[in-house]
Amino acid sequence: MKTPKGFVCIAILILISLPFSGLAQIAEQGSANADQHLIAAAKEIMNSEGSCALITIDNEGVPRVRAMDPFAPEEDLTVWFGTNSRSRKVEQIKKDPRVSLYYLDEDASGYVIVQGVARLVNDPKEKEKRWKAEWEAFYPDKTKDYLLIVVTPIWMEVLSPPRGISADPVTWQPPVVNF
């Protein structure tokens, strides 16, 4: 029995494209397994990179980006940072707590973006718990100069082809997890 060449070509194209679109389609459907896979990949990327970008909104509505030294994400992907209590980002968060975090995978093959709400924390116990000895020179009076920022995620997107997480082939939209 002969199989038409066109049918074989279409079948091969479909089979080749499945790995690229499969997880993105599953993630859009909101399956728990896909979300868990995306969250696990996000944690790997977030833990592998020593820094991330924190994006706030200034008084004119302009995004302001700076490199930060985050603590490892918590189980629910909450992220903590230490900062100078008199920094511009503190004033910006007071006025508009909407922030974004950007983590680039260590091999630059993918990324994680976390959109969330920031909160300033000046609790002495939390500050002591989240203190790094190498910060001593930056905060001579850590009681007054050192402040915490905690970001609670609202949603995140992940792109990581090596982990089997690809964007939609037409729109390039990466898979999203809503919290």
Asked if 46 and 52 touch (Cβ cutoff 8 Å), the reply is: yes
Identify the sign of the CA torsion 45, 132, 94, 76.
positive
Instruction: Tell me if the pTM is above 0.85.
Output: no
pLDDT digits (tens, 9 = 90+) for 144-167: 999 999 999 999 999 999 999 999
Which one is predicted more confidently, 26 or 68?
A: 68
Q: Residue 24 above 60 pLDDT?
A: no
Domain 5-178, CATH 1.10.10.10 — does that match?
A: no
Looking at residue 30, what is its pLDDT?
54
pLDDT digits (tens, 9 = 90+) for 92-119: 999 999 999 999 999 999 999 999 999 9
Domain ranges of the chain: 5-178
Asked if 112 and 103 touch (Cβ cutoff 8 Å), the reply is: yes
